[in-house]
């Protein structure tokens, strides 16, 4: 409680000392003292104003400390009446900062809604009852029903009442004028709308496998347990979540649901709202600051029972936690790729353990990390093998395109299949993970290729806007009329979604076509409009990137074509095969979800590729079991603990030399315990004018990896060095 001294042994009038953090590249906290004579003393989780260097900063109190010998500077002001972050959330943030080797102040302030990162107080005007007011109430002196009601509300409350709860402003003014109430300020209440009306939709009767999954969780031991819900696309995982959420809410506990993509929230929110008698609190980056603050506070205060959010919702304080759900747990979007490089799923597993509650990880294509835990019995494995609607899983076939005459990347067989499905009244979806018209422009005469002046990358031709664009740094320029070095005409190389759209629109006029990629859906409301056209059957052809893969339910789709499987099959990343299997099954899962059976055609030059063959003849778990064996052999994650040290600078030598020195020190100090690979150029060796190198650390024992990373932190110190060198640490990297 904010009014209670945290250290009871502090003699009255003595100064108390506190560790606080401020945003910025500081790994530790700072010690300040507080003079209790100046007001109620701080508590962990409240914001304070402190002198910092020559200026002042808003800081967050972490814990009481002994001030030691040092002279400390004073806390100038306590900004919050009650802690913004509870002890559990603070512990999680401290763990995450240490685990991911990121400055604690940045981690803590990033966890607060933007409005609370500054000095803004959470206060509203309030009224407190006075003896005169209580007398007036007894004597019936109040005129009018509204005045009497306000006086009654004040008399009934031991604390000041927020003014907005006391009727119109005129009534409040009268109470103050007559001395029946005193004006004061209180912490703004974290109100959340009460259930408006019960959900209008009733739940389908769960099938046997769904029922089993729900019962397993319900009868599972109290306390922490991780569950992996591995259910094929359309198997009714969301119904399992709903059944469990209903139970938790009825028992008065909160449920936190985290999804990888903001685009997945609207459909989930709609579905939850139709079924549950609660308004879910929503937390994602697309909200206005005020909306986000209100939702965040309602969750932290426990007034909102259900919260749905993206990655950053992993850190929201929960007042009465009951269950955590991570949907699409395999999705790389759950890992933050810039700044604080945390993985929301892994943070939530830590939190569930700390909170002693179950966590449910759901996916049609679980990550190798989670499957491995499930196979080893550390997570409990629940399977849903069939589609809940009774629809059959689509048949997947390879189209061997070797020696075929291709038009815009499509083989004659794929063209025929598209035509057949369109004429049969079906919808057709073509998946190509490359946006723009063509990935490069090339001169056939001299070999010139339009490249980015700042990156080791080609420029993508965006024909609709008539520009060449770098997808890595945002550089763009006009399209040259002909080759800048020999003036011969330029030709197109490769295939992007714009080109696919053009070719299909010309070949199948009158069927309506929608393109779903980042360029085509950028405008406000465009995405919803496009999804609507597909749902209403106005567009019978859909062309898209990774966006198609993400969980949309289009019942009319009967054919899914994977235009270029080789792109993923031959990716150099060690997770390439895993990613390939995941996106293939996810995009295949869009086919045949309703009455009409689905078909999936995969174009490849290597139909005998072991991953592809195993996927078609066995199943996903067989592919992943083989992957695990390969990773073990190659000593890669998840069989080893990995950390990546990245460095970049305007001069290649600066970055390489820095990592070479780090590597030498680590090899010398850790010997056999730690494998140090590199330094090597990063996959994109030059980006935005900076040369990028990386060093991979692998250890059998987690603590070895962390000791190594701490040693680097200690010996190097600052993350920004001479020669404009920057470096960073990525624990459990996704991309190597
Ligand atoms: P997933 O989350 O696994 O993709 P959903 O929960 O979205 O699957 O379910 C897929 C479809 O099946 C939805 O249209 C849903 O309404 C329906 N469905 C789910 N469970 C059942 C059930 N037990 N009986 C009938 N239909 C169901
Ligand atoms: Zn570039």
Of residues 653 and 521, the one with the higher pLDDT is 653
Fill in the DSSP letter of residue 449: B
Query: 105 vs 1, 20, 109, 122, 709, CA distance in Å?
Result: 23, 9, 6, 21, 19
pLDDT at 464 over 60: yes
Q: Which of 211, 237, 239, 274 to mutate to test the pocket of ligand 1 (most atoms within 8 A of CB)?
A: 239
Could you say which ligand is closest to the alpha carbon of residue 450?
A: 2
ipTM: 0.98
Alpha-carbon dihedral sign for residues 38, 42, 47, 52? positive
Distance of CA 499 from the midpoint of ligand 2 (Å): 22
Residue 125 pairs with which residues in a beta bridge? 185
208-219 vs 237-250: helix crossing angle, rounded to 10: 40
Q: Which of helix, strand or coil describes residue 205?
A: coil
Neighbours of 532 (CB within 10 A): 13
The DSSP symbol for 436 reads S
Nearest C-alpha neighbor of 386 from the set 524, 496, 237: 237
Q: Is 452 annotated as a binding residue?
A: yes
Nearest Cα residue to 323 out of 342, 298, 348: 348
- Is 92 annotated among the ligand-binding residues? no
> What is the number of the ligand 1 atom nearest to the C-alpha of 232?
3
**Which ligand number lies closest to the CA of residue 454?**
2
* Continuous segment of H or E residues that includes residue 155: helix 145-156
pLDDT in tens, 608-634: 999 999 999 999 999 999 999 999 999
3-class DSSP string for 48-98: EEEEECCEEEEEEEEEEECCCCCCCEECCEECCCCCCCCHHHHHHHHHHHH
Backbone phi, then psi, for 107, in 5-degree steps?
-65, -45
Mean of pLDDT values over 452-463:
90
Average pLDDT of the chain to the nearest whole number? 90
Ligand 1 pocket: which of 325, 366, 389 to mutate (most atoms within 8 A of CB): 389
Nearest residue CA, atom 21 of ligand 1?
A: 388
Ligand 1: which of 208, 388, 394 to mutate, judged by most atoms within 8 Å of the beta carbon? 388
Q: 30 alpha carbon to ligand 1 midpoint, in Å? A: 52
For residue 615, give the 3-state DSSP assignment: helix
Atom 24 (ligand 1): residue with closest C-alpha? 204
Question: What's residue 5's pLDDT?
Answer: 36
Looking at residue 271, its pLDDT comes to 85
CA of 596 to the centre of ligand 1 (A): 16
289: tokens are: 């600051």
Q: Report the separation in Å between the CA atom of 70 and the middle of ligand 2, taken as the mean of its atom positions.
A: 49
Percentage of the chain with pLDDT > 90? 63
Please state, in angstroms and rounded to a whole number, the distance separating the CA atoms of residues 599 and 595: 13
Q: Which residue has the higher pLDDT, 439 or 66?
A: 439
Per-residue confidence band for 551, with pLDDT thresholds at 50, 70 and 90: low
Choose the weakest-confidence range: 55-64, 150-159, 422-431.
Answer: 150-159
> 362: part of which helix (H) or strand (E)?
strand 358-363
Cα separations in angstroms, 316 against 86, 122, 282, 429, 609 = 10, 17, 11, 38, 44
Pocket-forming residues, ligand 1, beta carbon under 6 Å: 204-207, 210, 231, 233-239, 388-389
Split at pLDDT 50, 70, 90, the class of 1 is very low
- Whether residue 470 is annotated as binding a ligand: the answer is yes
pLDDT value, residue 6? 40
Q: String of b and e for 206-220 (b: at least 16 CB within 10 Å)?
A: bbebbeebbeebeee
**Does the pLDDT value for residue 164 go beyond 50?**
yes
Name the residue with the closest Cα to ligand 1, atom 19: 236
The pTM assigned to this predicted structure is 0.91
Tokens of 88: 């559990």
Greatest mean pLDDT among 313-327, 383-397, 675-689 lies in 313-327
What mean pLDDT comes out for the span 695-718? 92
How many angstroms is it from 234 CA to the middle of ligand 1? 6
Task: Read off the pLDDT of residues 11-21 as tens digits, 9 standing for 90 and up.
Answer: 444 568 999 99
Which ligand 1 atom is nearest residue 242's CA?
6
pLDDT computed for residue 68 by the predictor: 59
CA 44 – CA 102 distance, rounded (Å) = 20
Percentage, residues of the chain above pLDDT 70: 96
How far does the centroid of ligand 1 lie from the alpha carbon of residue 233, in Å? 9
Locate the ligand 1 atom nearest the alpha carbon of residue 210 and give its number: 23
Edge-to-edge strand ranges of the sheet holding 225-231: 281-283, 306-309, 254-258, 321-327, 358-363, 225-231, 380-384
Find the 454 Cα to ligand 2 centroid distance in Å: 5
Cα–Cα distance, 614 to 630 (Å, whole number) = 14
| pLDDT per position as a tens digit, 74-114 | 999 999 989 999 999 999 999 999 999 999 999 999 999 99
492 pLDDT above the threshold of 50 = yes
Please state, in angstroms and rounded to a whole number, the distance separating the CA atoms of residues 228 and 244.
14
């Amino acid at each position: 409680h904010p009014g209670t001294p945290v250290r009871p042994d502090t003699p009255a009038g003595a100064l108390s000392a506190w560790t606080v953090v401020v945003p910025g590249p500081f790994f530790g906290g700072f010690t300040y003292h507080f003079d209790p004579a100046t007001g109620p003393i701080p508590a962990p989780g409240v914001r304070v104003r402190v002198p910092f260097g020559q200026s002042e900063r808003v800081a967050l109190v972490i814990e009481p400390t002994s001030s030691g010998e040092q002279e400390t500077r004073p806390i100038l002001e306590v900004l919050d009446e009650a802690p913004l972050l509870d002890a559990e959330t603070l512990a999680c943030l401290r763990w995450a900062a240490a685990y991911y080797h990121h400055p604690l102040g940045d981690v803590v302030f990033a966890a607060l809604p933007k409005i609370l990162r500054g000095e803004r107080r959470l206060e509203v005007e309030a009224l407190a009852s006075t003896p005169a007011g209580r007398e007036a109430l007894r004597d019936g002196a109040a005129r009018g029903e509204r005045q009497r009601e306000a006086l009654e509300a004040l008399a009934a409350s031991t604390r000041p009442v927020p003014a907005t709860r006391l009727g119109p402003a005129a009534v409040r003014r009268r109470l103050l004028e007559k001395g029946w109430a005193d004006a004061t300020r209180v912490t703004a209440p974290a109100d959340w709308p009460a259930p408006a009306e019960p959900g209008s939709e009733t739940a389908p009767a769960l099938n046997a496998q769904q029922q089993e999954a729900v019962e397993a969780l319900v009868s599972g031991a109290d306390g922490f347990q991780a569950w992996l819900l591995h259910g094929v696309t359309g198997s009714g995982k969301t119904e399992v979540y709903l059944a469990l959420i209903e139970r938790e809410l009825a028992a008065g506990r909160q449920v936190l649901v985290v999804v990888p993509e903001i685009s997945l929230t609207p459909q989930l929110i709609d579905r939850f709202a139709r079924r549950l008698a609660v308004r879910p609190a929503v937390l994602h980056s697309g909200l206005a600051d005020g909306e986000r603050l209100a939702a965040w506070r309602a969750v932290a205060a426990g007034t909102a029972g259900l919260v749905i959010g993206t990655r950053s919702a992993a850190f929201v304080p929960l007042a009465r936690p009951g269950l955590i759900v991570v949907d699409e747990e395999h999705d790389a979007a759950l890992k933050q790729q810039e700044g604080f490089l945390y993985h929301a799923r892994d943070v939530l597993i830590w939190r569930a353990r700390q909170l002693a509650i179950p966590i449910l990880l759901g996916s049609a294509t679980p990550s190798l990390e989670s499957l491995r835990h499930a196979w080893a019995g550390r997570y409990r494995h629940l399977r849903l093998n069939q589609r809940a609607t009774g629809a059959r899983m689509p048949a997947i076939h390879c189209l061997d395109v070797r020696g075929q005459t291709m038009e815009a990347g499509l083989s004659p067989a794929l063209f025929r299949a598209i035509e057949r499905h369109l004429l049969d009244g079906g919808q057709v979806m073509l998946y190509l993970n490359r946006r723009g018209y063509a990935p490069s422009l090339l001169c056939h005469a001299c070999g010139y290729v339009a490249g980015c002046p700042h990156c080791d990358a080609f420029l993508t031709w965006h024909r609709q806007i008539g520009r060449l664009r770098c997808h890595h740094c945002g550089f763009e320029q006009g399209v040259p009329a002909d080759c800048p070095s020999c003036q011969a005409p330029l030709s197109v190389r490769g295939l992007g979604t714009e080109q696919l759209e053009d070719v299909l629109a010309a070949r199948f006029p009158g069927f309506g076509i929608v393109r779903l990629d980042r360029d085509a859906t950028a405008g406000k409301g465009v995405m919803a409009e496009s999804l609507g056209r597909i749902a209403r059957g106005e567009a019978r052809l859909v062309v898209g990137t990774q966006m198609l893969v993400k969980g949309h339910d289009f019942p009319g789709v009967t054919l899914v074509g994977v235009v270029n499987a080789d792109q993923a099959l031959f990716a150099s990343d060690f997770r390439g095969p895993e990613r390939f299997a995941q996106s293939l099954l996810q995009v295949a899962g869009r086919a045949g979800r309703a009455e009409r059976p689905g078909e999936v055609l995969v174009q490849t030059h290597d139909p005998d590729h072991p991953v592809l063959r195993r996927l078609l003849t066995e199943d996903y778990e067989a592919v992943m079991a083989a992957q695990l064996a390969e990773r073990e052999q190659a000593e890669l994650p998840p069989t080893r603990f990995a950390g990546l040290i990245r460095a970049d600078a305007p001069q290649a030598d600066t970055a390489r030399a820095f990592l070479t020195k780090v590597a030498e020190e680590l090899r010398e100090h850790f010997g056999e315990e730690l494998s140090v690979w590199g330094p090597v150029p990063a996959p994109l060796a030059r980006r935005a004018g900076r040369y990028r190198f990386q060093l991979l650390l692998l250890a059998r024992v987690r603590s070895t990896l962390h000791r190594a990373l701490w040693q680097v932190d200690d010996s190097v110190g600052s993350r920004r060095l001479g020669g404009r060198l920057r470096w960073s640490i990525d624990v459990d990297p996704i991309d190597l």
